[in-house]
Structure 1
Amino acid sequence: MKFEIFKAFNGQYYWRGRGGDGKTLCHSEGYRHKEAAEHAIQAIRGEAASAAIDDLTQAKAAGFGH
């Protein structure tokens, strides 16, 4: 996996994560400063391996159940 940082037509910085096959796996919101996008990537790299998975397709988890 690799991360790419780019500047869009709106002047904001974005990142995207690409798998080994080149397909986009994830992408970011816009950041006003490149350093903020870089910081977000570092945070993801440090937390992803231990991240929990919340299945929001379940009615109770989405807050719609009783």
Structure 2
Amino acid sequence: MAMDDKIDNKAEELKGKAKEGVGRATDDEGLEAEGRGDQASGKVKQAGEKVKDAAKDVFKK
């Protein structure tokens, strides 16, 4: 399950980059902002996954 989450989070970040790029190219500030939001969301979720992984490592010892 964790690997699926990591893939989904990275996909969300990449989707956000694409949206931001399209928004910038078409001068659509709303789409650009939405893309930045998607990127931020994906990065926060990835950070959460890293914390969970670190906690697992601590408790395995």
TM-score norm. by structure 2 comes to 0.31
Structure having the larger proportion of residues in helix? 2
Q: Which has the higher contact order (CA 8 A, sep 6+)?
A: 2
Structure having the larger proportion of residues in strand? 1
